[in-house]
Amino acid sequence: MSKPKIGFIGLGLMGGAMVSCLQDHSYDVTVLGNRDRTEIDKALARGASEAATARNVAEGSDVVMLCMGTSDHVEGRMRGDDGVIAGLKPGSVVIDFGTSLPASTKALGAEVSAAGGTYLDAPIGRTPDHAREGMINLMCSGDKAAFDQVEPVLQDLADNVFHLGALGNGHAIKLINNFFGQSVATSLGEAFAMADVLGIDRRQVFDVMHAGPLGSVFMELMAAYALDGDPTKLAFSIRNATKDVGYYDQMSKDAGTPSIMAAGPLGALRDAVDGGRGDAMVPELTDYFVDRLGNG
């Protein structure tokens, strides 16, 4: 069976790694250029084609993939005269790999369906390094027949592929996951900072917590910075974390049940961004709490 032609929009670190993986599996890939040419030029050097508009990407592709930073970015590439929807071929499948608002995902799904295609959401777990090796996790949801159609492609990209039911469920689960993760991250950041205030060795705090039921890989990733100064074990920016928890909060409001718990981590994250820490990695939240508690 011949491989589908792939169109890819959003070649940042993650998207570029995914395109590299697709090319390793001999897919014909068309990419949409952007201002940062780093990953685009790598893909072109390996045989990818470049399209001038998102519409052109869709016109030449069986499967269109997007890996964008925000729902606004996705909507901007999907809609309009030069957008993906305007160029869709009947039977095409569009997949959003980003972490997007479920309400936006569902609205785009209806528009793609009206144009003769199918829209799936498949947010990503793990890192660009995993993506390059085809070892990410994909939380996919949407029409099961369309999922079955593209599953061989997803399996080439991923170690684990989950189908999670109706369109938007993947994005919802990813936001729940990230809300929980950032709740833990902000709590740990304050815990280490409070140890400093009280004159307690951070490592003693870690050893006690890690030895009990609170111990986790996530705690180890945060501690790699708090104890050893290495923020790269959890290479996710405070700015992106703020966006994701903000989306979780908005999702809860869209559902008519505003979150009770989101205000804590979201307030700390937004304050850290406002203080110029947006490009720092999440483990560096410990420094934010040290400064806040020290100046409290």
Provide the pLDDT for residue 34.
81
| Alpha carbon distance 20, 5 (integer Å) | 15
Residues 22, 43: contact at Cβ < 8 Å? Answer: no
* Tokens at 103, concatenated: 């309400």
* Both structure tokens of 87: 């160029």
| Rounded-to-10 torsion of CA 121, 11, 34, 247 | 40
Strand order across the 136-140 sheet: 124-125, 136-140, 158-163
- DSSP H helices, 46-136, are 54-59, 71-78, 84-87, 102-114, 128-132
Closest CA to 133 of 163, 112, 156: 156
C-alpha distances (whole Å) from 40 to each of 13, 45, 82, 278 are 11, 9, 20, 25
Q: Identify the pLDDT of residue 36.
A: 87
- Integer CA distances (angstroms), 270 to 81, 94, 192, 275, in order: 35, 32, 20, 8
pLDDT for the residue 60: 97
- The full set of domains in the chain, from first to last, is 6-166 (3.40.50.720), 171-294 (1.10.1040.10)
- Res 35: pLDDT: 82
Are the beta carbons of 132 and 21 closer than 8 angstroms? Answer: yes
pLDDT averages per 10-residue partition of the chain, 296 residues: 94 96 98 91 98 98 98 98 98 98 98 99 94 97 99 98 98 98 98 98 98 96 98 94 98 98 98 98 98 84
pLDDT (0 to 100) of residue 296: 57
| pLDDT value, residue 1 | 63
- Whole-number pLDDT of residue 263: 98
